[in-house]
Amino acid sequence: MSEAMHTTSAVSAAHGEHHDEHHGHHKETFITKYIFSQDHKTIAKQFLITGIVWAFIGGLFSVLFRLQLGYPDTKFPILETLFGHWAAGGQITPEFYYALVTMHGTVLVFFVLTAGLSGTFANLLIPLQIGARDMASPFLNMLSYWFFFGASIVMLSSLFIQTGPAAGGWTIYPPLSALGEASIGSKAGMDMWLIGMALFIVSSLLGGLNYISTILNMRTKGMSMTRLPLPIWAMFFTAVLGVLSFPVLLSGAILLLFDRNLGTSFFLSDIVVNGQVLPNEGGSAILFQHLFWFLGHPEVYIILLPAMGMVSEILSVNSRKPIFGYMAMLGSMFAICILAFLVWAHHMFVTGLNPFLGSVFVLLTLLIAVPSAIKVFNWLTTLWRGNIRFTPAALFSIGFVSLFISGGLTGIFLGNSTIDIHLHDTMFVVAHFHIVMGVASFFGMFAGVYHWYPKMFGRYLNNTLGYIHFWVTMIGAYLIFWPMHYEGLAGMPRRYLDKRGWVSFSQFGDLDKMITVVTVIVFAVQLLFIFNFFYSIFKGRKVTTQNPWGANTLEWTTPIRPGHGNWAGEIPEVHRWPYDYAKDGRDFIPQTEPVGANESAH
């Protein structure tokens, strides 16, 4: 540990002293530059590209199980060719279906929208926007990526073992997940899930520690906390949430590993499997739910907050107006963080939770609507009468706001414990969280990629492809998820492979077909995006100006392709907040410009 700290401080010292000639980084090899890099910008790209690979895999899983849901009577021989006995006769088997749903959730929630999103943009933006040459500890930062990589390898290999990956939902509730004899998805795949997640948690913690300590300690001269761009505040709150809640999931995972492999009964009691009475006694399955959701609820905000921060920035830049209510944005993010720790039991209304306790959680849950509404109001007022430039990044940001409103409103339904008795574990919940979390955060991520691509690669993404990507995804997302509300209200359960047994759901047959068709189209358009992404790295239009969007923040004062250390000379000093757009008759005033003698303060 301390050895590592010495090396890293030597590296940062070299950069601090304006590139002392005798120091290492000029002799960088391929390995230190692209593989075991300690440059935060390279690490960001590593997270992004790994995230894209995972998004492809996770998205593909959803296409597969949607085929089954939309066309339960059709056989797809190609599936049998590809997946063998998992899709015997060209139809997805129940075990395969459950494994697909589980891994779809796990991959997208953790590997894409947590690591891929925070890992990319916290790494890229924190040093660039606060004016630092790198993270507080570039070495820990590199470790964070490699732990994520290790987690990815473990999770990915679980897909190829004979009994298949974990199955039982991304929430892996025991007793099912604890008992290998109960389901093949609870055999070796589940151990690999738990080990993969443990590595993942270590990665998140290392990353989070670094983000927090960098933001608090490494800001350039003049960059007070209230002059920080909003993405940085969002990353800060995200990291705090992660550092405080992931360890609790880790403790749950450790207890579950003990139950699975060493014969303890923390979560197990009074169980009969296949007519066999198990010896386990005295455990409590509900206990796991508490441990899980104590992370699980903050986790949804870990996913959403970075998107919120980036959208705030991108909306302000592209409507050429200051962000409306900067302090209110901070206050509401803070409130969301506090409340995020106090509402976990709203996922457990139907577990026999004491109704009085339940009503406390209803109250706290509904309180989240207040800061959420404040943020929505601020985004809308930022856009209001703005001089909007509809770049793909701006469109995705506007799409984000729309999705957040739609999905937030359904949250209020679910937050009432009485209504939730009807809606729990139905497609309504699936609709709610895909719109508010899944798609919305993806939109935030897309917005970020389109907006900061020029900084990452020195080239632009293709705009036309960007517009196609946006419109198809936007319309498609609503077509896919909106109808699920109706299914859920009618009582259709989630995670069921085959609903043909219920006459009452036969009315949804065509609807489910439509959803599946749209899913395939939307997936295809994501491939278009992936193409655009990789093609443009090499062939995209070159960036020729330092500040292509006319933005105020510090990353646009670095060279077009910044080296390790970010600024060639001194780190610029900051004199104002980042949102001086359309001020005193000027389009924008960068943060580095001193406040003029007769300039009005903001």
Partner 1 sequence: MEIVSDQQRKKIHPHKFTLWVAIGSIIMMFAGLTSAFIVKSNQVNWTPVAMPKVFWLSTAAILFSSLTLQMALRSFKQREMGTYRLLIGLTMILSLVFLALQWAGFRDLWDQGVRLKGAGAGQFLYVIFGLHALHVIGGIIALVVMFVKAFTGRIKIYSSVPVEVMATYWHFVDLLWVYLLVFFIIIGR
Does 347 interact with ligand HEM (rule: CB under 6 A)? yes
- Phi/psi for 556 (5° steps) reads -85, 5
Does 408 interact with ligand HEM (rule: CB under 6 A)? yes
Q: Which does 228 bind (CB under 5 to 8 A by kind): ligand HEM, Cu ion, partner 1, none?
A: none
**DSSP-assigned letters across all residues of 479-542:** HHHHHHHHHHHTTPBTT-S--TT-GGGGGGHHHHHHHHHHHHHHHHHHHHHHHHHHHHHHHSPB
Cα gap 22→19, rounded to integer Å: 9
Cα gap 113→130, rounded to integer Å: 23
Cα gap 149→152, rounded to integer Å: 5
Does 411 interact with ligand HEM (rule: CB under 6 A)? yes
User: Could you tell me the maximum CA-CA distance found in the chain, to the nearest angstrom?
Assistant: 84
Element (H, E) at 276: strand 276-277
Scanning 46-54, 320-328, 416-424, 552-560 for contacts with ligand HEM by CB under 6 A, the matching segment is 416-424
Among 32, 284, 381, 402, binds partner 1 (CB under 8 A): 284
Among 108, 125, 329, 414, binds ligand HEM (CB under 6 A): 414
Q: Which does 408 bind (CB under 5 to 8 A by kind): partner 1, Cu ion, ligand HEM, none?
A: ligand HEM
Q: Quote the crossing angle between the two packed helices 94-106 and 188-217, to the nearest 10°.
A: 10
**Which is it for strands 586-588 and 581-583: parallel, antiparallel or unpaired?**
antiparallel
Q: Which tokens hold the place of 596?
A: 């003029």
Cα gap 340→225, rounded to integer Å: 23
Q: Which does 291 bind (CB under 5 to 8 A by kind): partner 1, ligand HEM, Cu ion, none?
A: partner 1
- Phi/psi for 374 (5° steps) reads -60, -45
Query: From the CB of 587, what's the least distance to ligand HEM, in Å?
Result: 34
Query: From the CB of 287, what's the least distance to ligand HEM, in Å?
Result: 18
Does 309 interact with ligand HEM (rule: CB under 6 A)? no
Query: From the CB of 195, what's the least distance to ligand HEM, in Å?
Result: 22
Contact positions with partner 1 (CB under 8 A) in 185-214: 205, 208-210, 212-214
Q: CB nearer to partner 1: give 237 or 442.
A: 237
Contact positions with partner 1 (CB under 8 A) in 562-591: 571
Q: Which does 368 bind (CB under 5 to 8 A by kind): ligand HEM, Cu ion, partner 1, none?
A: ligand HEM
Q: CB nearer to ligand HEM: give 122 or 368.
A: 368
Query: From the CB of 225, what's the least distance to partner 1, in Å?
Result: 12
Scanning 157-165, 286-294, 351-359, 497-505 for contacts with partner 1 by CB under 8 A, the matching segment is 286-294
Instruction: Collapse the DSSP code of 450 into the 3-class scheme (helix H, G, I; strand E, B; otherwise coil) and give the result.
Output: helix
Instruction: Collapse the DSSP code of 3 into the 3-class scheme (helix H, G, I; strand E, B; otherwise coil) and give the result.
Output: helix
Does 365 interact with ligand HEM (rule: CB under 6 A)? yes
Among 372, 526, 557, 558, binds ligand HEM (CB under 6 A): 372
Side chain identity at 514, as an amino acid letter?
A: M
Among 139, 292, 433, 533, binds ligand HEM (CB under 6 A): 433
Cα gap 140→203, rounded to integer Å: 9
Instruction: Collapse the DSSP code of 38 into the 3-class scheme (helix H, G, I; strand E, B; otherwise coil) and give the result.
Output: coil
Q: Which does 12 bind (CB under 5 to 8 A by kind): ligand HEM, Cu ion, partner 1, none?
A: partner 1
Cα gap 113→304, rounded to integer Å: 8
Q: Which tokens hold the place of 535?
A: 């093609």
Nearest by Cα to 355 from 420, 267, 432: 420
Q: Quote the crossing angle between the two packed helices 120-130 and 230-261, to the nearest 10°.
A: 150
Contact positions with Cu ion (CB under 5 A) in 293-322: 297
Taking CA 25 as the corner, what is the angle to CA 23 and CA 26, rounded to the nearest 5 degrees?
A: 90
Among 159, 184, 188, 287, binds partner 1 (CB under 8 A): 287
Among 144, 163, 177, 220, binds partner 1 (CB under 8 A): 220
Q: Which does 137 bind (CB under 5 to 8 A by kind): Cu ion, ligand HEM, partner 1, none?
A: partner 1
Q: Where along the sequence are the contacts to Cu ion (CB under 5 A)? A: 297
Residues in touch with partner 1 (CB under 8 A): 1-3, 5-6, 9, 12-13, 15-17, 132-133, 136-137, 140, 205, 208-210, 212-214, 216-221, 243-248, 250-252, 254-255, 258, 262-266, 268-269, 279-284, 287, 290-291, 294, 571
